[in-house]
Structure 1
Amino acid sequence: MRVFITGITGPVGSFLADHLLTIPGLELHVFKRWRSDPRPIEHLIGRVTIHEGDLEDAFAVDTAVRTAAPHRVFHLAAQSYPSASWQAPVLTMRANVEGTLNLLEALRRHAPHARIHLAGTSAQYGTVHPDSVPIREDHPMRPGSPYGVSKVAMELSGLQYHDNFGMHVLVTRSFNHVGPRQGDRCSIQTFCRQMAEIEAGRQPPILHVGNLEPRRDFTHTRDVARALWLLLEHGNPGEVYNLCSGRATRIGDIVDLVVARGRVPVEVRQDPARLRPSDEPILQGDNSKLCAATGWQPTISMEEIVEEVLDYWRAQLSCR
């Protein structure tokens, strides 16, 4: 079986590759944007076939898909930062919508029977009233950023290819994913990196935080990787699935975990620059549809996530 992954250097891509490489008889092809940081996939060199290009380059995408001739496709590549989408809304639409269409067209030509996963986001829901939590897949979508809008368009485009061309397309709406090999824009990454910086003497013993009251749904990237494989094998084409832990953790409680696992005492101080104009009080997904289709359950606790991410940043700083 040949599998094709886009977004291989992103927060989920390399963990998905790690998981897939444990499956006997699987040949793995990955699509890497030519300018992406290769460090998250250094351990994959020689074990996977790497195709370089840009999703907005239809010729590069077509060539990669034709060469790989995949049976399974995981489309993870995206401009995935809501804040950046306000600064570059057109580029976000090009990457997330035009890029997806380039991929779908290439698959329609060269691998029309492949099973295809498209990665959406909980940002497609927009602001959700606490009475509607946990959020189900049938909740109305009203995205609050160009990023969220682009993912709605991506999802509808993919479902159109299922409806009109009979292609095996399914979509996940992913909530927060967290693990090593990830940048520091996620709140947990920010807290753990600061703690590692403080321990290394590179930052005063002050942990800067924003609003500590919101509750968010986090899933470890290794649990996400398992879920994606199970879903593409057992999920129904033309369907949408929330990919989430089904639990919401208060941000302040995560800070407490980081502080408790730190090697030096710190002061937790709210930084006005880290406060947003508005913060949804709770974002928590309902994963019952995914679990029913696959038998999947998340296995990695928040305590384990914090410990692993904190050790990751300690190791990163020791290499500098």
Structure 2
Amino acid sequence: MRCVRVFVTGSGGFVGCHLVARLQAIGHQVTATDREVDVSDASALEPAVRRAAPALIVHLAAISSVPESRNEPDLTYRVNFLGTRCLLETAQREAPDARILLIGSADTYGSSEPGAKAFAEDAPLRPGSPYARTKAAADLLGAEYAAKGLDVVRARPFNHAGPGQSDAFVLSNFARQAALIALSQIQPQLRVGNLDSVRDFLDVDDVIDAYLALSDPKVPSDVYNVASGRGVRIGDALDEILAIAGVKPEIEIDPERFRPTDHAVGNADRLRSATGWKPRTPLSRTLERLVQDWRERLSAT
């Protein structure tokens, strides 16, 4: 993909920081926006897009925490759905020829029973939280604008982790607790939810690779899962984190975190067929980077 002008929303978030750094390293001219531009406010968004004159728009801005979405459902609706609608309307007026990469979520599929086949893009959407419902609505809205002629690509990433991630997400939360214990900053007790659930985990670098591949205008406008296709029991990932951190804490089940056992694994055959993408980073390396990142962050405070 040749170097182009890129407009990124949500650039201050976990994935946004990694994406902007990669885009700039490649040589793209990036306009990175975060909370200073309210994506649900056309009067703020339109001039920003007009000035950027982008050939590529990557829409990451979102309320991405499920607990936060339950605490702030109105804000979640405004940012995740109305913000996406405002972005698409703005693109239609100010950048009608741009490729628009909408970052959705595999949470829109809901979960399946253990042993069920991996979710493909044609699986029914069964969102189970305000976060997932607003992302599903935004995803379908993207399909509507694509039918109107905008060059919209929708990505549905499964769980991903890496340096800089908030501890609101399971692997990063475990890594933070393990690092605190290793640094003797808390007692050797680690609080968890359901360790028997199964998830599809990716490294953030592999997710960025997928987004860059989907940014190529030669790739058909469609919806694409971003997934490893491999299910990992959450308890097994925790065991590896504890081994990396060199700690053996007491494990405590936190009733507020506990959810029924479920299974969510994705099928990324469509993405692989269209782009040749495949994940390159083993989960062990992702977990090593997470633990090291939390050690450094906590040591600095």
TM range (shorter): over 0.9
Matches within 5 A, 1:197-208: 197-208=180-191
> Whole-Å Cα distance in 2 between the matches of residues 286 and 168 of structure 1?
23
Is 1:5 equivalent to 2:8 in the alignment?
A: yes
Question: Secondary structure of the equivalent of 2:206?
Answer: helix
Contact 1:159-1:169 within 8 A present in 2 as well? yes
Letter in 2 for 1:298: P
Question: Secondary structure of the equivalent of 1:173?
Answer: strand
> Whole-Å Cα distance in 2 between the matches of residues 137 and 22 of structure 1?
31
> Whole-Å Cα distance in 2 between the matches of residues 129 and 252 of structure 1?
17
Equivalent position of 1:125 in the other structure: 109
Letter in 2 for 1:218: F
Equivalent position of 2:72 in the other structure: 88
Contact 2:40-2:87 within 8 A present in 1 as well? no
Equivalent position of 1:152 in the other structure: 136
Letter in 1 for 2:153: L
Equivalent position of 2:21 in the other structure: 18
- Gapped regions of structure 2 (runs ≥ 5): none
- Gapped regions of structure 1 (runs ≥ 5): 34-51
Letter in 1 for 2:169: C
Question: Secondary structure of the equivalent of 2:26?
Answer: coil
Cα displacement (A) at 1:307: 0.5
Contact 1:133-1:283 within 8 A present in 2 as well? no
Cα displacement (A) at 1:123: 1.4
Contact 1:178-1:305 within 8 A present in 2 as well? yes
The ranges of structure 1 where at least 4 consecutive aligned residues each deviate by more than 6 angstroms after the TM superposition are: none
Cα displacement (A) at 1:247: 1.1
Report sequence identity in percent: 41
CA deviation string 1:38-67 (max 9, x = no partner): xxxxxxxxxxxxxx3211221111111001
2:43 to 37, 41, 59: 59
> Whole-Å Cα distance in 2 between the matches of residues 202 and 163 of structure 1?
54
CA deviation string 1:21-41 (max 9, x = no partner): 2323x21111111xxxxxxxx
> Whole-Å Cα distance in 2 between the matches of residues 137 and 95 of structure 1?
24
1:135 to 112, 116, 119: 119
Cα displacement (A) at 1:236: 1.1
Equivalent position of 2:31 in the other structure: 29
Cα displacement (A) at 1:11: 1.8
Question: Secondary structure of the equivalent of 2:32?
Answer: strand
> Whole-Å Cα distance in 2 between the matches of residues 128 and 268 of structure 1?
26
Letter in 1 for 2:39: L
Change beyond 3 A, Cα 1:211–1:131: closer
Letter in 1 for 2:123: H
> Whole-Å Cα distance in 2 between the matches of residues 302 and 76 of structure 1?
24
Cα displacement (A) at 1:130: 4.1
1:248 to 206, 221, 231: 231
1:213 to 193, 196, 207: 196
Matches within 5 A, 1:61-76: 61-76=45-60
> Whole-Å Cα distance in 2 between the matches of residues 66 and 199 of structure 1?
49
Q: How many residues align?
A: 297
1:313 to 289, 294, 300: 294
Letter in 2 for 1:244: A
Change beyond 3 A, Cα 1:156–1:264: closer
Give the RMSD, CA atoms, in angstroms. 1.4
Question: Secondary structure of the equivalent of 1:54?
Answer: coil
> Whole-Å Cα distance in 2 between the matches of residues 184 and 298 of structure 1?
23
Letter in 1 for 2:195: L
Cα displacement (A) at 1:95: 0.7
Contact 2:69-2:129 within 8 A present in 1 as well? yes
Moved more, 178-187 or 254-263: 254-263
> Whole-Å Cα distance in 1 between the matches of residues 250 and 129 of structure 2?
34
Cα displacement (A) at 1:264: 3.9
Question: Secondary structure of the equivalent of 1:22?
Answer: helix
